[in-house]
Amino acid sequence: MIPFEKALEIVTGTECRRMTKETIPFTESLNRVLYSPVVSDTDLPPFNKAAMDGFAARKTDLGNDLDIIETIPAGYTPRQRIGVNQCSRIMTGGVVPEGADCVVEVELTEQLPTGRIRITGTVRGTNISSRAEDVKNGDVVLNPGKVIRPQDIGIMAATGQTRIEVSKKPWTGIISTGSELVEPGETPSASGIRNSNSYQLIHQTYVAGGTARYYGIAKDDEAVTFSVLQKALSENDIVIITGGVSMGDFDFVPSVMERAGVKILFSGVAVKPGKPTTFGIHENAILFGLPGNPVSSFMLFELMVRPVICKMLGSNWKPLTLKLPMKEGVSRKYTERMALIPVKLTPDGMALPVEYHGSGHLTALTDTWGIVTLPVGTKTIEKGELVSVRQI
Ligand code: AMP
Ligand code: MG
């Protein structure tokens, strides 16, 4: 058993494949990782733009009544230059005409019977968004490594970047082991249990930015496990095999891994849950052996597999971590492992441990927002103590 921090260091320090790039339409890029910078082909705003409905005028003339010389809706190119005691009616988004240095909002004006405009209030600021004040033509607007969000897609649209380069998704092969397992659509026998890990891990992979291949349930049989593991290792960038890595009589997975050409870098981590976690490298893929218990496999994926997927993607994703006070204290008897405490956020901004019966208690995860860790050697967290909460 090695300390969690050491295990994580080995995992994140292990050389892994850097995914190559592919070019895709920007509308299909949500949650993908940007491979190449996105560069604007335009100034933004592209022209001096009215930020209000009103009258484009010269500040020095605002004490006088003004003649209206033109109407400028959005999408119209002004033809008239604003001269002394002149103005043009302008709509939000319209091009501010030459000569004007402010837009007087319509609420601060009245139209006189002569047709002229009189300013009736105090004009603050210019109400003009200047050309290129947000982005200059040629600016990098999005940097490589970014996980693309809807607002980034908005930027791509605004800057005319309709095809972009993203990292290809790493393939994660998922294998579950256990003769007791049946698939979710089946009714388990008296001694059976439904396979939840595989589906959870497939979707954790998607959220992390990868894509998954599912290899089904391998019964607790060495030959079966060996052949499916060998196939998965040859077809994927990462392989996750769950179950069979503890020390039970049927837990031959570590020896099968070695036979399949995996060099095991650690087997056993001082973390609770997650002690049997195993990690190894193969000529084609990186291998994780995660515990069969669904809470353990969920947490260890988040803590150890996800960083590897991010590294392969060149992603700069980091988990959100907040410093929050504990709503309730936590205590434990044995301290030789780092403990992962699932917590939720309370409306008053505190971390509250969720009811948690152990590593098989899958429904506890539904209420979980994040985890708090209790380091090796630490027995308690006091009520009110400030802790680091990592979103999972
Ligand atoms: P193992 O790591 O194989 O010793 O399994 C530990 C516990 O997790 C046992 O109660 C298993 O039945 C359960 N388990 C193993 N694999 C899965 C799975 N794919 N889905 C749900 N539970 C599992
Ligand atoms: Mg098992």
Convert the pLDDT of each residue in 5-27 to its tens digit: 999 999 999 999 999 999 999 99
Residue 200 has pLDDT above 90, yes or no: yes
Is residue 269 a contact partner of residue 289, using CB atoms and an 8 Å limit?
Answer: no
Protein residues with CB under 6 Å of any ligand 1 atom: 176, 178, 180-181, 193, 195-198, 242-244, 246, 248, 291-294, 360
CATH number of 49-129: 2.170.190.11
CA of 336 to the centre of ligand 2 (A): 24
**Which of 3.40.630.30, 3.90.76.10, 3.90.105.10, 1.20.5.510 is the CATH number of 21-44+133-167?**
3.90.105.10
Q: Which homologous superfamily is 2-19+169-313 in?
A: MoaB/Mog-like domain (3.40.980.10)
The chain-wide mean pLDDT, for the chain, equals: 96
Q: Any idea which residue has 């990868």 for tokens?
A: 210
User: Closest ligand to 243 CA?
Assistant: 1
Which ligand 1 atom minimizes the distance to the CA of 293? Answer: 8
Residue closest via CA to ligand 1's atom 10 equals 293
Residue closest via CA to ligand 1's atom 5 equals 292
Which of 29-43, 138-152, 247-261, 368-382 has the lowest average pLDDT? 247-261
CATH number of 321-391: 2.40.340.10
User: Closest ligand to 274 CA?
Assistant: 1
Q: Give the tens place of pLDDT for each residue, 72-98.
A: 999 999 999 999 999 999 999 999 999
**Band of pLDDT at residue 253, cut at 50, 70 and 90:** confident
User: Closest ligand to 241 CA?
Assistant: 1
Which ligand 1 atom minimizes the distance to the CA of 176? Answer: 19
The domain locations on the chain are: 2-19+169-313, 21-44+133-167, 49-129, 321-391
Q: How far is CA 10 from CA 13, 14, 233, 327, in A?
A: 5, 6, 20, 34
